[in-house]
Structure 1
């Protein structure tokens, strides 16, 4: 049995986003139950120089959307861009759902056919990285996906939101 690149890409993203949605829903419920401000949860940081929780969700949802576009052959100049907005759990949950649906809609055959395609990405001021499609998904996309979803989970857990590994796993 062979596992396709599209299967890895789409199923990993879907599972990560199910987990992210679950922890966001539980955080919203916790804020309501304790009458805490959503902003307190959404603005949490692990360290002062790190981005806050809402940025983690905003960034990874756009990253997934752009990943699907890259693997579908969209040129760097035409990649979709989402505004960095979402000041409530409801808006962030909807954003994740919208991006998950767009990733799922990407054509499997196109993604699989682009395993050897060269992808050039910016990685800093006047710096780029070139990867083939397979390496992009396995060594760049997936680690970034799980890093930011894990960071969002940890930020909420740190604030006492009652979430656990099963929630994170999206199972």
Structure 2
């Protein structure tokens, strides 16, 4: 049995986004119950040189939209550029929903047909990485998706938000 690349891409993104929404909703409720300012959660980071929690959400939602665009054949210089916005739980939850809708609308047949399409991606100053579509999804997109969702989860958990594995998994 073969699983379509579009199914892997879209279902994994949808599940990760459900989990991300779950943990943000619980964080919002926790902030309201404890009278903690949302900004304390949004600006939290594990180490001074890492990005804050809100950036983790902003970045992974943009990454998902750009990933869907890449897999439907949009050239690198024409990829959507989402502003890094959303400073409240409600704004981030709405951003996740909007970006999830965009990913869900990507054409399955086009994604599936682009398994061997070469994608050239910037990975740093004056550096690119070339991957075929299948490798991009399985070895680059999915690890990045789960890394940033996990980081957001850990940042909220560290602040006492009662989230668990089921929340993270979007169950």
TM-score by length of 1: 0.99
- Structure 2: any 5+ residue segments left out of the alignment? none
Aligned to 2:78: 78
Task: Report how far residue 160 of structure 1 moved.
Answer: 0.2
- Structure 1: any 5+ residue segments left out of the alignment? none
Aligned to 2:87: 87
CA RMSD of aligned residues (A): 0.4
Task: Report how far residue 116 of structure 1 moved.
Answer: 0.1
Aligned to 1:160: 160
Aligned to 2:18: 18
Task: Report how far residue 83 of structure 1 moved.
Answer: 0.6
Aligned to 1:108: 108
Aligned to 2:9: 9
Task: Report how far residue 2 of structure 1 moved.
Answer: 1.4
Deviations 1:19-55 (A, max 9, x none): 0000000000100111110000010001110000000
Aligned to 1:142: 142
Moved beyond 6 Å, runs of 4+: none
Give the Cα–Cα distance (whole angstroms) in 1 for the partners of residues 2 and 124 of structure 2.
Answer: 36
Give the Cα–Cα distance (whole angstroms) in 2 for the partners of residues 161 and 17 of structure 1.
Answer: 18
Give the Cα–Cα distance (whole angstroms) in 2 for the partners of residues 165 and 42 of structure 1.
Answer: 21
TM-score by length of 2: 0.99
Matches within 5 A, 1:17-96: 17-96=17-96
Task: Report how far residue 59 of structure 1 moved.
Answer: 0.2
Secondary structure in structure 2 of the residue aligned to 1:41: helix
Aligned to 2:130: 130
